[in-house]
Structure 1
Amino acid sequence: MIELTKNKLAALKRLSDENGVIGALAIDQRGSLKKMIAAGSASHVGDEGIIRFKELVSEELTPFSTAILLDPEYGLPAAKVRSRDAGLLVAYEKTGYDATAVGRLPDLLPEWSVKRLKEAGADAVKFLLYYDADEDKKINDYKHVYMERVGSECVAEDIPFFLEIVSYDAENDNVKSKSYAKVKPHKVIEAMREFSKPQYNVDVLKVEVPVDMNFVEGYTEGETAYSKEEAAAYFKEQSEATELPFIFLSAGVSAELFQETLKFAKESGSTFNGVLCGRATWKDGVAPFATDGEQAGRTWLQDTGKKNIEELNGVLKESASSWFDKVK
């Protein structure tokens, strides 16, 4: 059980449904979203297109979400048009990482602080950390200290700290490979163990599922890296590796596979507390927006986008556990 201040507890409730489940929408992508829009358009390239698409997603989909995650660089206009019932998470990290440098080191947005994000209306602050539990000690110590700083800032402002961990293998760049699928459970679970320690002051972990579902027996027609029983055991081990509330990220898989994954997590004994789901919900709406204009994008969101979220909410109702059980 973790102890939350009165303000943090109230903020987490604003980000959740009445049962203590987080069904949040993530659209804090920056560089990757710009590329997606530019790929289908000559007229929507640049800042205006990305800002407008985020506004459309916020307008059309937050009535069906408990919260939305946005970035302060392009997303604050979208925060203003979200549903009044949807909470607001704001990203604090610079997008991406320097691929030429060793270690995928974290970096903050220099013109923002937790204090300023809170003043801009954030109910919680999110930080994305790339982490390889087996990387050089010097690199990981740097990341540990960095997260202690962010956690301390959030404590000072009395605002929830959501830490998003994306695991990787410093020795293997191909995260879609079978060889990475085999080490992924260890990478994901050890990262969760580390950042559940009290010195980081994390309130909610946003994490990957512990396996690559494309290599789970019964979920793939190709080669497998795990039997169903092995995969289920990893979900259970992940859940037992932390006392913190934790939610799953969709990692860009299809809406269908993500929903199937959540059902599998529940069957495996995972006590996950919701999702912060991004591309699985809205990515196929980028093409009509970029190619055929704003109305085409809006129509897609009103139809398929809404359907994706409502189906996901149905799965969450059956599979997610309440974070109320993890806090006092």
Structure 2
Amino acid sequence: MGKVQISRGKFEHIQACANAEGIIAAVAMDQRGSLKKSMEKLAEGSGTPEAITTFKRKVSQVLTRHASAILLDPEYGLPALKKRAPGRGALLSYEVTGYDPQTMGRLPRLLPSWSARRLVEVGTDAVKILLYYNPIDEGWINEIKRAFVERVGDECKALDIPFFLEPLAYDNVHPEQSFEFACLKPGYVRAIVEEFSQPRYGVDMLKVEVPINSAYLAGSLGFKGSEVAYDWQAAKEHFQAAAGVSKLPFLFLSGGVDDAIFREQLELAAEANVPFSGVLCGRATWKGGVPVFVNDGEAALEDWLQDQGVQNVQALNSVLSHCARPWHTIYGGLEAIEVTN
């Protein structure tokens, strides 16, 4: 069987985002609209551009010492990019945050004053796109989204830069936190992974959702205690089904759950023998610092990050050390890759 060919730029920049073991243990700090809302809930007027920029800069400065890379946005995150620890990888988001609830289909948009080339020029190792995707949505909606991903994939290929895709499942009828959606989610995540693993999209790494909602998993730390969508064995099978259709390395995102629940989910994935290659983990590690920052300021946030924030990242790293696999595992290891010029 022939070797998998990966271009030099893509290979070296993916490696730059991974640790010495080839696992991506990255902090996600590209939240914009959701971070502003979190601040504004605590104190009206607190979610200013300056406050968001300061929060990101401080998270980057402290937590990247214990991470392999950080995901940021070019709108508020460039000062934070410069403050990351030496030798840590950088990823930048390319999409407009959120979606227009008045427009059907949660259609994606690119930041109008940015291009993949401009993201490279400010120092990113990879371009990341978030895409809301419902596999059974109307055909014209998903055609627009598939063409959108192809376009970004071609842009990244031309620049020889990795393309990380973050597809988020949704349904047009059931809210994402509902029991009904919890039952649909495993099938949606599997279909999404299968679709965007296709070579035509030019994706190099998938940043995917855990295919279950722990609020409906019997025995989970996150279990609400009422309706059950899956037991432990069924949950493992859902992880296996999604992983089984992936032709690409993939990472898990925390989806805003508490850090202990996210670690439990990763351990469940490992129990299911799922070869995930790490995490791009956001709120699970730093969301506790938001009220500290809003109420007590930057110095208090730094103290919280040095204490609880670092503990959260180190606990996650401990789980990754025995649960995650190197990003090149899916290709058969480094020896199965031919780096091309």
TM-score (structure 2 length as normaliser): 0.94
Structure 2 matches for 1:219-234, cutoff 5 A? 219=220, 220=223, 221-234=225-238
Q: Which runs of 4+ in 1 moved over 3 A?
A: 41-45
How many Å separate the matches in 2 of 1:202 and 1:139?
Answer: 20
Match of 1:179 in 2: 180
Give 1:153's aligned residue. 155
- Contact 2:198–2:247 (Cα < 8 Å) also in 1: no
Q: Deviations over 1:137-170 (max 9, x none)?
A: 1110111111000000000000000000100012
Match of 2:266 in 1: 262
Q: Could you tell me which residue of structure 1 aligns to residue 315 of structure 2?
A: 311
| Alignment correspondent of 2:334 | none
The letter for the 2-side match of 1:213 is: S
* Alpha-carbon distance in structure 2 between the residues aligned to 1:39 and 1:213: 25
Structure 1: distance between partners of 2:43 and 2:303: 18
The letter for the 1-side match of 2:234 is: E
- Inter-CA distance 6–297: structure 2 relative to 1 (3 Å threshold): same
**Superposed displacement of residue 275, structure 1:** 0.3
Aligned partner of 1:18 in structure 2 is 20
Q: What is the CA distance between 1:190 and its match in structure 2?
A: 0.1
Describe the shift of the 1:22–1:158 C-alpha distance in structure 2 as closer, same or farther (beyond 3 A): same
Structure 1 portions without partners, runs of 5+: none
Query: Which stretch of structure 1 is more off in the superposition, 134-143 or 214-223?
Result: 214-223
- For 1:226 and 1:42, the matched residues in 2 are separated by 40
Which is further off, 181-190 or 215-224?
215-224
Q: Cα deviations across residues 9-58 of structure 1 (Å, max 9, x unaligned)?
A: 11011100111110000010111111222333467431110000000000
Native 8 Å contact 1:63 1:85 kept in 2: no
TM-score of the superposed pair, with normalisation by structure 1: 0.98
Determine if contact 1:244/1:326 at 8 Å carries over to the other structure: yes
Pairs within 5 Å for 1:29-48: 29-41=31-43, 44-48=46-50
Alignment check: 8 A CA contact 2:275 2:330 kept: no
1:210 aligns with 2:211: yes
- SS of 1:83's partner is coil
Provide the residue aligned with 1:168 in structure 2. 170
Structure 1 counterpart SS, 2:328: helix
- The offset of 1:326, in angstroms, is 2.6
Q: Sequence identity of aligned pairs in percent?
A: 46
Of 212-221 and 125-134, the range deviating more from structure 2:
212-221
User: Is contact 2:163–2:204 with CA below 8 Å preserved after alignment?
Assistant: yes
Give the match for residue 79 of structure 2.
77
Match of 1:241 in 2: 245
Tell which deviates more after alignment, 274-283 or 33-42. 33-42
Residue of 313, 321, 324 corresponding to 1:320: 324
- Counterpart Cα distance in 2 of 1:39 and 1:214: 24
Contact 1:59 1:82 in 2 (8 A): yes
How many equivalent pairs are there?
Answer: 327
> 1:292 maps to what in 2?
296
For the residues of structure 2 that align with 1:216 and 1:183, how far apart are their CA atoms?
14
The unaligned stretches of length 5 or more in structure 2 are 332-336
Looking at structure 2, the residues matched to 224 and 6 of structure 1 have their Cα atoms a distance apart, in angstroms, of 47
Contact 1:132–1:167 under 8 Å retained in 2: yes
Q: Quick one: distance in 2 between partners of 1:187 and 1:152?
A: 25
Q: Distance in 1 between matches of 2:317 and 2:25?
A: 7
Shift of 1:222: 2.6
Query: Given the alignment, which residue of 273, 276, 279 partners 1:275?
Result: 279
> Secondary structure of 1:165's match?
strand
CA distance in 1, matches of 2:99, 2:47: 22
Aligned-pair distance for 1:2? 4.8
SS of 1:164 mapped into structure 2? strand
Confirm or deny: 8 A CA contact 2:217 2:231 kept in the other structure: yes
- d(CA) in 1 for partners of 2:329, 2:274: 14
State the partner residue of 1:118. Answer: 120
Report if the CA contact (8 A) 1:282-1:301 is conserved.
yes
The C-alpha deviation readout for 1:96-131, integer Å capped at 9, x for no partner, is 000011000010001000000000100000000000
